[in-house]
């Protein structure tokens, strides 16, 4: 189902929503009123189209600019609505909007825009993507590239290929839930490993990750559960991993 984020005034919301439903009743409308709400929506959803009404009294223009800084939304269509030409010009130059409308808004014109976009071949985002937000910045990761996640001193570090990214404090349980992938296994109280990258486990309980130098130890309190989780994934190792818990 296609998803549209709509950030417009209360006056415009009903009219815009009616037009959207006329064009395609299967579209999911995600209505927001603040930048905080809008940021939450793009973190937790894959938005296919933005309809944003900008003016000098709210943060919608800043949000529209921020959207274009996100890799996943760099080429997603944005329809801008505004009450003066200066804002429209700025939006066109900075946000690179697909279309713009000036007040008073022509709903028939919006309908034609949406009809064209309804046939637009939306870019399919890979389910391999995961998003985390820290200090107002949204970080996107390919799950398959994440090797290890370390949660210590109330800071979470994601080790992904050649990069290390700090995403602030989050619990291990919430991280695993967000990842939504069985490949990510809790290996200690403060560590999560991507089992797809494991190449060996030593007799001493040291996990060896492909092309990764950091020493990863299996936590003593979680060894049995770790082995159980690994076996459920049917991952083959070079030795009998049950030695780890003896």
List the one residue out of 93, 112, 103 whose CA is nearest residue 55.
103
pLDDT value of residue 241? 45
Write out the residue range of the structural domain in which residue 70 sits.
3-118
For 45-66, write each residue's pLDDT tens digit.
889 899 999 987 779 999 999 8
Q: Are 68 and 95 in contact (CB under 8 A)?
A: yes
Co-location of 88 and 190 in the same domain: no
Residue bearing the bigger pLDDT, 163 or 69: 163
For 165-188, write each residue's pLDDT tens digit.
999 999 999 999 888 877 899 999
CA distances from 134 to 7, 110, 165, 170, 244 (A): 23, 35, 10, 10, 36
Please give the tally of structural domains in the chain: 2
> Is pLDDT above 50 for 149?
yes
Determine which helix (DSSP H) or strand (DSSP E) holds 245, and give its type and residue range: none
pLDDT value of residue 231? 75
pLDDT value of residue 122? 53
> Is pLDDT above 90 for 8?
yes
Co-location of 73 and 170 in the same domain: no
CATH number at 157 reads 2.40.50.1020
Whether the pTM exceeds 0.85: the reply is: no
Co-location of 114 and 196 in the same domain: no
Whether residue 129 is contained in a domain is answered as no
For 79-93, write each residue's pLDDT tens digit.
999 988 888 888 888
> Is pLDDT above 80 for 236?
no
Q: Helices 60-69 and 35-44 sit at what angle, rounded to 10 degrees?
A: 30
- CA–CA separation, 181 and 187 (whole Å): 15
């Amino acid at each position: 189902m296609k998803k549209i984020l709509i950030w417009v005034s209360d006056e415009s919301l009903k009219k815009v929503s009616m037009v959207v439903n006329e064009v395609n009743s299967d579209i999911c409308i995600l209505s927001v009123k603040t930048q905080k709400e809008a940021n939450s929506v793009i973190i937790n959803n894959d938005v296919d189209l933005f309809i944003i009404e900008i003016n000098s009294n709210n943060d919608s223009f800043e949000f529209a600019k921020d959207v274009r800084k996100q890799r996943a939304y760099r080429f997603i269509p944005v329809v801008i609505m505004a009450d003066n030409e200066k804002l429209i010009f700025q939006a066109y130059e900075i946000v690179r909007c697909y279309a713009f409308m000036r007040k008073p808004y022509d709903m028939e014109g919006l309908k034609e825009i949406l009809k064209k976009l309804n046939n637009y071949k939306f870019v399919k985002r890979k389910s391999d993507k995961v998003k985390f937000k820290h200090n107002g910045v949204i970080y996107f990761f390919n799950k398959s590239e994440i090797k290890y996640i370390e949660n210590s001193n109330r800071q979470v570090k994601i080790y992904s290929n050649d990069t290390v990214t700090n995403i602030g404090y989050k619990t291990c349980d919430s991280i695993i839930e967000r990842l939504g992938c069985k490949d990510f296994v809790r290996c200690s109280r403060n560590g999560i490993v991507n089992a797809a990258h494991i190449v060996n486990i030593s007799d001493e309980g040291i996990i060896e990750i492909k092309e990764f130098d950091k020493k990863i130890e299996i936590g003593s309190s979680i060894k049995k559960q770790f082995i159980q989780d690994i076996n459920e994934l049917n991952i083959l190792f070079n030795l009998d991993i049950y030695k780890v818990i003896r």
